[in-house]
Structure 1
Amino acid sequence: MTIDVWMQHPTQRFLDNDMLASLRRWTGDAMPAQDLPIDLTIASMDAAGVGFGLLSAWRGPNGLDLVSNDEVATWVRSHPDRLAGLATVDLDRPMAAVRELRRRVRDDGFVGLRVVPWLWRLPPTDRHYYPLFAECVELGVPFCTQVGHTGPLRPSETGRPIPYIDEVALDFPELVIVCGHVGYPWTEEMVAVARKHQNVHIDTSAYTTKRLPPELTAFMKTRTGQRKVLFGSNYPMIGHTHALDGLDDLGLSDAARHDYLHGNAERVFTRLGQVRS
């Protein structure tokens, strides 16, 4: 069963935000004019044989609320056999952020924390993150983030794997980190950091199978890389069928394909077993 580790069910607030103008150009400016039912997201998963997905909440500074934890919790409750949540928090309120993460994991069954650094213009080495890293370790959930350039109209510097992910992994060797969007144009840096640190992983969200950088696909075929790369779509920016098209052409072994599509996700997101049982 394929697991998608980076997807969002978009609210109208998310789709209408000015910073996503570049994404609207890529999709032909064909954004809907009203909130969409969660069943459309489930249908996209069904069309591609994706059995389970991790829905991300999105929050930024100054009260920017694009997809709330409450909304994600509601969608997960409507399809608990298909969806789990990744929490968002307010970095400007550190203790409230820690308590929110704790509550969402313990009470609502969320399986990780996602913070998108370019939304905050704060790299992951900023002190605002560090209480959350400690709490992720205590809760046994991954810290999920974005690496590489930003498609949205925001600066890209916060997405550098080196120094940012490298230094976080040095400071918190027990922290499980999942880096989405493959790190392009610094994919070689991202692969190097994943090789170096036991608990650093990469997900392929925002890239179709046919557009995955060759240095990443080569890494996936190594003994280390086979256990380090997870499938993600970045739905709705990329539909699930489109994201997986060309999978047979990657030349992965049966074992590597198993790990990429679901084995690594089941191992990295340890709470998945609890929410799916």
Structure 2
Amino acid sequence: MTVDVWMQHPTARFLRHDMLASLRRWTGGAMPDKDSEVPIEATVASMDAADVDFGLLSAWRGPNGLDLVSNDEVAEWVSRFPDRFAGLATVDLDSPMAAVRELRHRVRDDGFVGLRVVPWLWGLPPTDRRYYPLFAECVELGVPFCTQVGHTGPMRRSETGRPIPYIDEVALDFPELVIVCGHVGYPWTEEMVAVARKHPNVYIDTSAYTTKRLPDELLRFMRTGTGARKVLFGTNYPMIGHQHALHGLDDLGLTDDAVHAYLHGNAVRVFKLTDRATP
């Protein structure tokens, strides 16, 4: 059974945003048309084609009222396909108390399994004080904080994606906080691996990278006992389709146990999906 820990069902306003212009060039037209409303069934079909059983759908929010995929929309899709999806909440960093209450509501009332904030969208690294009440609430709720590391594919500044110092400092300040770092950290992948080795609750997901493009530093880590427990599969769908993301998995030289942990076991443990993402 395979779990995709970073995907989004795209709204038309998400697809139209200028941040995706560079990604459209890279994906060669594989993404949905920017003027279309994509039915949730299309996302389910992409998963089915690659035998991906379960996915975490992300909401997207940025500053100045930028609402690309709302928590309400994610909650609706999850309610329609509860055996296929769980939600990752978004919040408004500029309204700290409202953000904390929104996170609490989504986890307790709608069953969301984590918080995702994309730092480049806000222009704020994870060490900014506006994140810290949310980190405390994630610990209290027992859910991970999910974020992006590495350079920024959209035409935005990349500095906020550095694993060192940002993820390292957050993990030092909040050792109980589970942090899932998406997009492998390239070109600072060695830094990302070092931070994941150092901190028991820091993890890496492979979203935005196909299997054949995973950096060598990450693959070496995945072949170790520690790394086998620390890396989770993700696609960043619809930027990368599920079949495309998984192609070449058998060529990585991973043991059967490591493959199972990568595709399923780590996600179930980290996001507490035992009652949801099980065969």
Instruction: Name the TM tier (shorter chain).
Output: over 0.9
How many angstroms apart in 2 are the aligned matches of 1:92 and 1:274? 34
Match of 2:72 among 67, 70, 73: 70
TM-score by length of 2: 0.97
Among candidates 181, 191, 194, match of residue 196 of structure 2: 194
Residues 20-35 of structure 1: pairs in structure 2 closer than 5 A: 20-29=20-29, 31-32=32-33, 33-35=35-37
Cα distance, 1:240 vs structure 2: 0.1
Matches within 5 A, 1:75-114: 75-114=77-116
The answer for the alignment partner of 2:238 in structure 1 is: 236
Superposed CA deviations along residues 171-207 of structure 1, whole A, max 9, x for unmatched, are 0000000000000000000000000000000000000
Counterpart CA distance in 2 for 1:135 and 1:154 is 28
CA distance in 2, matches of 1:273, 1:67: 26
The equivalent of 2:228 in structure 1 is: 226
Q: Give the C-alpha shift of residue 71 in structure 1.
A: 0.4
How many percent of aligned residue pairs carry the same amino acid? 82
Q: Is the 8 A contact 1:113 1:141 kept in 2?
A: yes
Aligned to 1:12: 12
SS in 1 for 2:38: coil
From 119, 122, 127, the equivalent of 1:120 is: 122
Classify the secondary structure of the residue corresponding to 1:273: coil
Alpha-carbon contact 2:54-2:277 (below 8 Å) kept:
no
Query: Deviation of residue 276 (structure 1)?
Result: 5.4
Partners of 2:127 and 2:113 in 1: CA distance: 22
1:42-78 deviations in Å (ceiling 9; x for gaps): 0000000000000000000000000000000000011
Label 1:246 to 1:276 Cα distance change in 2 as closer, same or farther (>3 A): closer
1:36 Cα deviation after fit: 0.5
After superposition, the C-alpha distances for 1:92-134 in whole angstroms (9 at most, x for unaligned) are 0000000000000000000000000000000000000000000
| Aligned 8 A contact 2:3 2:277 in 1 | no
Secondary structure at 2:140 match in 1: helix
Unaligned runs of 5+ in 1: none
State the partner residue of 2:261: 259
Q: May I ask how many residue pairs the two structures share in their alignment?
A: 276
Give the Å deviation of 1:35.
0.8
**How big is the alpha-carbon RMSD for the aligned residues of Structure 1 and Structure 2?**
1.0
| Corresponding letter in the other structure for 2:257 | A
Amino acid at match of 2:252: L
Conserved 8 A contact 1:98-1:135: yes
